[in-house]
Amino acid sequence: MSTDEIICNCMEVYKSEIVEAIKSKGLKTVEEVGEATDAGTGCGGCQDDIQEILDQVNGK
Ligand code: FES
């Protein structure tokens, strides 16, 4: 995946924004990413992708 791939089409949130938010704020859940970036707060279809990014960044 390239770092500036769009993850959430509804809210136009890029992967790089999500990764930054997770790292800078220590986010742990899809809900927290939604609050921080709006990603996943539209149709919800990208929430699995957000979870994958959380797992990658948090090393699970
Ligand atoms: S694509 Fe992210 S909420 Fe719809």
> What integer pLDDT is reported at residue 10 of this predicted model?
98
What topology is assigned to 6-57 in CATH? Arc Repressor Mutant, subunit A (1.10.10)
Extents of the domains making up the chain: 6-57
> What integer pLDDT is reported at residue 29 of this predicted model?
98
> What integer pLDDT is reported at residue 60 of this predicted model?
72
> Could you tell me the pTM of the whole model?
0.91
Using the mean position of ligand 1's atoms as its centre, give its distance from the Cα of residue 60 in Å: 23
Average confidence (pLDDT) per 10 residues, the chain, 60 residues: 83 97 98 98 98 94
Closest CA to 55 of 30, 34, 32, 37: 30
The verdict on the CB of residue 43 being under 6 Å from ligand 1 is yes
The verdict on the CB of residue 38 being under 6 Å from ligand 1 is no
The verdict on the CB of residue 46 being under 6 Å from ligand 1 is yes
Rounded-to-integer distance, Cα 18 and Cα 16, Å: 5
